[in-house]
Amino acid sequence: MFKAFAFLTKKDGLGMQEFIDYYEGKHIPLILSLAPAPLIYKRRYIVRDQELTKSGNLVDYDVMTELGFADQEEFASWMGKLSAPGIAEQVAEDEGRFLDRSRIKVYVVQEHETPVSEERALVPRVGLGGTTENPPRGAVSLDSHQPRFQA
Do 146 and 79 reside in the same domain of the chain?
Answer: no
Whole-prediction pTM:
0.74
Do 101 and 127 reside in the same domain of the chain?
Answer: no
Do 14 and 78 reside in the same domain of the chain?
Answer: yes
Q: Which domain holds residue 39?
A: 2-109
Q: How many domains does the chain divide into?
A: 2
96 alpha-carbon distance from chain centroid: 18
Do 6 and 79 reside in the same domain of the chain?
Answer: yes
Do 7 and 65 reside in the same domain of the chain?
Answer: yes
Cβ-contact 147, 135 below 8 angstroms: yes
Where the chain has pLDDT below 70, the residues are 50, 52-57, 125-151
Q: What is the CATH number of the domain that holds 15?
A: 3.30.70.100
Do 102 and 132 reside in the same domain of the chain?
Answer: no
pLDDT, tens only, 45-84: 988 776 766 666 677 899 999 999 999 999 999 999 999 9
Cβ-contact 100, 109 below 8 angstroms: no
Tell me, what's the pLDDT at 52?
66
Percentages of the chain per state (helix, strand, coil), in multiples of 5: 35, 20, 40
Number of CB atoms found within 10 A of residue 19's CB: 19
Tell me, what's the pLDDT at 47?
86
